Chain A
Amino acid sequence: MLLPSRHLLASLVCTTVLCSAPAYAEMTPSLNLSGGTGLIDMPSGEAQSDGAFTFSVGSVGPITRTTLSFQISERLSASYHFQTWRDWDNVIPGDDKISDKSLDLRFLIVKEGEVLPAVTIGINDFTGEYAYSAEYIAATKSLGERIKVTAGLGWGRFGSYDSIGSPFGDRPENGVIGRPNVDQWFRGEAAPFGGVEVKVTDTWTFKGEYSSDTYTLEDDERGIIDRARPFNFGLEYQKGPNARYGLYYVHGTEIGFALHLILDPKNRATGGVMGAAPMAVKSRPSRAADPEAYDGEWVTQPDAGPLLQKNLDKRLAVDGIVIDSLSYTATTVQIRIRNTRIDAGSQAIGRTARALSHLMPASVEVFEIVPVVNGMGASKVTIRRSDLEELEYVADNTTLLRERVTITDAGQAPATAIAETDPYPDFWWGLKPAFRLPQPLQPEVGLRLSANYSIRPGLVIKGSVYGRLVGDVDSVASGSLLQPVRSDGARYSDNGNPALEELTLAWYARPAADIYSRFTVGYLERMHAGVSGELLWKRVDNPLGLGVELNYTYQRDTDGVFGVDEYDYDVVTGHVSAYYDFGNGYLGQIDVGRYLAGDFGATVSLDRIFVNGWRIGAFATVTDATAEEFGEGAFDKGVRFSVPLNWAVGNQTKQTFGTTLRPSGGDGGARLNVDGRLYDSIRDYHTEALDPEWGRVWR
C-alpha cells in the first residue's frame, strides 16, 4: 500500500469541516457505537445511503471498537470491526487477549414507506470468536421529520437480557471459529429491544434505547464493566454531512463516546474532478476554403514524423501523457500513449485527440488512440476528426461522440511506427515515504526506494527496497500447521529491515487479438521468488475475461536479501480465473486452483468500482486445508478498499490509498502477490470502464 496519506487524511478532515450543507430536510440514518446503522448499542431497521463508507470509533469504559462499514448496495451492508479491551485479565489473570476482529452483515428487507417501517435483518460477528455474535430483526419508523422509533428482536448477544424464550429452538455451541456460524443463527433465546431518536435541532439528536444485551462476557465473565441497567441515553452532534459525534450514558454506569466519519464515494470533496481545462479543439479550414491544406503530400517529407512527434510530446507532457509510438498515413494517425497521471482513461484519450487536432495536417481525418499499459496496447479508440470538431460545443456531446467512436482491440503497432525520440529504454527511480498497516491500529512508517527500467515496450526490470522507520513488530513464530507462506509475516518484518521487496524482470505482450500475456521472473514479492506466467483472454467490449496463471516459487529467507534456503520450500501454484463485469460497477472474479501452501481451492470475490475510482470489495477463499490447519479463521476472507487520491484532493493523479482487512490471517488460500496481473492492468481501457466515465473525454 502506498501512501501520501497525509493528503488523504488532511482532506478527510477538511471535508468534514468544509462540506457542511445548511440543513437537513430529513433525519439521516445514524450509526451506533459499533459503527452499524442504529441507536446506541442496538441496531435500527434503516440502511445508510447506497455506497456510503463509514469509519467509526466507539468507546465505552475499557471497550473500544473501530469499525469500517460499507453500504454495498441499496440494501446490503457489511462492517469490519477491530475491538480492543483493556483489563481483559481482571478476572482470569494471565489471559492477555486484548483484541479481536469481526465481520457483520445486514440486509434491508423493507424500505420505509408511508405506513411500513424500514425493516432490516442482520447477523453480527458471523465468522469470528462470537464475542459479538448476534442476530436481529429491527424495524424503524419515522414519525414526522424529527422523531424515529425503533423496535426489534435479537438473538445471541442481543437475546441475552429478559428474553421471551427460544422461538426457533436452542442455540448450539460454537462451531469452528472462522466458519459462518449458520447453525446458531436466530436460535436460542430471543429478546426484544427498542429505542427512540429525536432530532432536537438540525445538528443535535437525542437517543434513548432499551438494550437487550446483558454483557455477559464483559460483566459476568471478565468483570471489566458493570452493566446495571438496560437503558442507554445519548446526545449526538452532526457536523456537516461527513462527521457525527456522540456522547452517551450507558448501562447506568458508564460514559461512552463515538466518532463517525461518513464518506460518500459517489461525491467528490470538490464537487467534481479538478484540474485545468483542456486546450480547445483546433478546427481545420473547410476543404473548399483551403483545398491545399488537405493535400497529403506532407507524408513524403522525411522530417515530418520526428517533428510531429516532438510537438505532440510537448503538448501531451502537460497531462503526463507519454508517446510510445506514432505512425501515420495521409489520412490516418495512430498514436500509442502511456497515461501516467490522469485517473480516467477517457480523459487521457480526449486530451490526446485535442492535441492531435492541433498538430496533424488537415488531411488526417482518423485518429487512432491506443492506450498502452505495461507495453501492451489495451484498446484502440478511433475518433473521426470531423466529429471532434463538430461536437466540441454541442449539447450532449458526450453521448453523440460515443455513438460515433469505435473501441476495438489494439492490434499490433503499424510497422511504419516511428520513434524518433525513442522513449526506450526508460528509467525512473523514486524514494518515497511509505505507510503500511500490517495490522489494524499498528501502522508503520518507512521509506521505499523503487526503480523501474523499461528496456523496450513490455520488457521491464523493476525493484524496490523498503525500510521501516517507525512502528513495532511483534515477531511471533507461526504456529501454523501448514507451510508458513504468510503467517511468518512478522518474522519477515522483524528480520529483514530494510528488505528487498521485489526485483523482477517482466515481459508483457499481445500474442494474438484479445489475448494478453505476462511472464515475470525474480524476487516476485517479499516472501516468495521464482517465475510466474499468465495468459488472459479479454475482448474490449465483452464483460467476461478468462485467464490462467502458473507459478513456480521458492519461499524467500526472512532476512530480506537474496537467499531461498531458510525454509527450503518450493511449490507450483496456479489458477484458472474468470472475471465478469455485471454492470453498474459490480465486478466478480472466481479463481480456482492451487495456493501457496499446496492447498487446492477457489476464491470468490466481488468488488464495487465507482466511476470516479473508489473500489470496495470482499473476498473469500475456501481450500482443502482444514480449519485446524488454517488456524484461527478457518478459511481466508476479508474486505478491501481503494480510494483514489484525486477523489479527495482533486489534483491530477492516479495514485490510490487502500488496504485489505482480514478478520484473521492464515496460510491456507494464500496467493502469490505478483505485480502487474493482466486483468486489472488493462480493464481501465475496455468499454465497461471507459463508457461510464465517457463524459470525461470532453474534460
Chain B
Amino acid sequence: MGQGLALKILSRLSAAVIACALVVGCDKAQLSPMMATVGTLAQASLVQFKEKRAQSAGVAAKPVSRAEIEAYGIPILRAVVEFRGADVLLTLADTKGSVQTWTTTDGTTFTLRDGVLIQTRGLGPDVLSADAPTVGQLLQNGATYQRRYFFLGADDQVSRRTYDCTVTVVGRETITVVERNHSVTHVKEACTRPQGSIGSEYWIEGNKIRRSVQSTSGLAGLILFERVVD
C-alpha cells in the first residue's frame, strides 16, 4: 500500500505559493534554491527525483487527480518541501490521540499535533521536538503564546529556539485542495525571538487545519501541508 500512491506526484506547487503565503518575515536564506540541491547530494530520495528523472526523460510528470488519490481509500496529506525540491503524498504511519505521523514511502516522516508540525525525521535538518499551539489558539485573533523548537543540527547536537508568537486572523476564504473547494479561516502566526523571526500560516476548516505553510528548521525552511483526503 502507498508505494504507488505516494510516488505519484501532484503538479508541482511553485515556490511562489509559499513565498506569497509568507508575509511575515522569516530567518534569512530559508528558501535558498541551492539548498534544494543539497537534497540531491543527500540522496534524500523524496519523490521529486522520480519527477526529475521523468522530466529528463522527456516525460512530464502527470498531475494526479482527486479520483486517483481517493481510490486508495486512506487518509492522504500532501507535503511540499521546497528545500528538498519535493512534492509528495504522505500516508499515516502512526496515530496517538491528536498526534499523527505521516510518512513518505522512503521513510521521511512528519509528525503533526492537530495539524501543527511538531517533529520531522529524515529531512536532514530535523525538528526533533516542538511545542505547538492548539487549533483553538490559532483561531483566536491576538492570541499569544511561546513556542519552542528543538532541532537536531548538522553537528548532531540539539539546539533550542524559543519564540514569542502572536496569531492574526486574516478572515474567511475559499481555497482549492486538489479539485475540491474548502471554506476556511485564514490565520497567520508570527513568531519572534531576538535573533530573528519566523512565520507560519494556516487555513482552518471548522476545527481542522486544511492547509498550512509551517516553519521548520532554519535550513529546511517552510513546508506546505494540505490535507487532501480525510
The interface of chain A, by Cβ under 8 A from chain B, is 11, 14-15, 18-22, 266-280, 283, 344, 392-399, 610-612, 649-651, 692-696, 698-699
In the assembly, what is the distance between CA of A650 and CA of B84, in Å? 14
Q: Is A695 a contact partner of B152 (Cβ separation < 8 A)?
A: yes
Hey, what's the 0/1 contact readout for B97-129 against A, CB within 8 Å counting as 1?
Answer: 001010100111101010000110111111011
Q: Is B124 a contact partner of A274 (Cβ separation < 8 A)?
A: yes
**Given known A-B contacts A274-B44, A277-B107, A695-B156, A268 and B128 have beta carbons under 8 A apart:** no
**Given known A-B contacts A22-B34, A611-B157, A650-B43, A393 and B150 have beta carbons under 8 A apart:** no
**Given known A-B contacts A395-B129, A693-B157, A650 and B111 have beta carbons under 8 A apart:** no
Q: For A271, give its contact among B119, B158, B220 (CB under 8 Å).
A: B220
In the assembly, what is the distance between CA of A395 and CA of B122, in Å? 18
The interface of chain B, by Cβ under 8 A from chain A, is 29, 32, 34-35, 37-38, 40-44, 93-94, 96, 99, 101, 103, 106-109, 111, 113, 118-119, 121-126, 128-131, 148, 150, 152-158, 160, 217, 219-220
**Given known A-B contacts A21-B32, A611-B156, A270 and B150 have beta carbons under 8 A apart:** no
Which B residue sits closest to A275, measured CB to CB? B122
Which of chain A's residues have a CB closer than 8 A to the CB of B41?
11, 14-15, 18, 269-270, 650
Given A266-B155, A612-B154, 8 more A-B residue pairs with CB atoms under 8 Å apart are: A14-B41, A18-B40, A267-B155, A278-B121, A344-B156, A395-B150, A398-B129, A699-B152
Q: For B157, give its contact among A22, A650, A692 (CB under 8 Å).
A: A692
Q: For A396, give its contact among B106, B150, B153 (CB under 8 Å).
A: B150
**Given known A-B contacts A266-B154, A266-B155, A699-B152, A272 and B43 have beta carbons under 8 A apart:** no
Q: Is A270 a contact partner of B152 (Cβ separation < 8 A)?
A: no
Q: Is B38 a contact partner of A398 (Cβ separation < 8 A)?
A: no
Q: Nearest Cβ in chain B — how far from A621, in angstroms?
A: 32
Which of chain B's residues have a CB closer than 8 A to the CB of A22?
29, 32, 34
Which of chain B's residues have a CB closer than 8 A to the CB of A398?
128-129, 150, 158
Which A residue sits closest to B101, measured CB to CB? A280
Q: Nearest Cβ in chain B — how far from A71, in angstroms?
A: 15
In the assembly, what is the distance between CA of A21 and CA of B34, in Å? 7
User: SS class of chain A's interface: helix, strand, loop or mixed?
Assistant: loop
Which of chain A's residues have a CB closer than 8 A to the CB of B128?
397-398, 695, 698-699
Which of chain B's residues have a CB closer than 8 A to the CB of A11?
41
In the assembly, what is the distance between CA of A19 and CA of B152, in Å? 19
Q: Is B43 a contact partner of A651 (Cβ separation < 8 A)?
A: yes
Which B residue sits closest to A611, measured CB to CB? B156
Which of chain A's residues have a CB closer than 8 A to the CB of B94?
280
Which of chain B's residues have a CB closer than 8 A to the CB of A610?
155
**Given known A-B contacts A280-B94, A398-B128, A274 and B40 have beta carbons under 8 A apart:** no
In the assembly, what is the distance between CA of A492 and CA of B217, in Å? 53
Which B residue sits closest to A20, measured CB to CB? B34
Which of chain B's residues have a CB closer than 8 A to the CB of A392?
96
Q: Nearest Cβ in chain A — how far from B129, in angstroms?
A: 5
Q: Nearest Cβ in chain B — how far from A489, in angstroms?
A: 36
In the assembly, what is the distance between CA of A276 and CA of B126, in Å? 12
Q: For B156, give its contact among A14, A393, A612 (CB under 8 Å).
A: A612
**Given known A-B contacts A22-B32, A393-B111, A271 and B38 have beta carbons under 8 A apart:** yes
Q: Nearest Cβ in chain B — how far from A474, in angstroms?
A: 39
Q: Is B220 a contact partner of A277 (Cβ separation < 8 A)?
A: no
In the assembly, what is the distance between CA of A691 and CA of B34, in Å? 33
Q: Nearest Cβ in chain A — how far from B166, in angstroms?
A: 19
**Given known A-B contacts A22-B32, A649-B43, A271 and B150 have beta carbons under 8 A apart:** no
In the assembly, what is the distance between CA of A611 and CA of B160, in Å? 17
Which of chain A's residues have a CB closer than 8 A to the CB of B103?
277
Which of chain B's residues have a CB closer than 8 A to the CB of A396?
129, 148, 150, 160
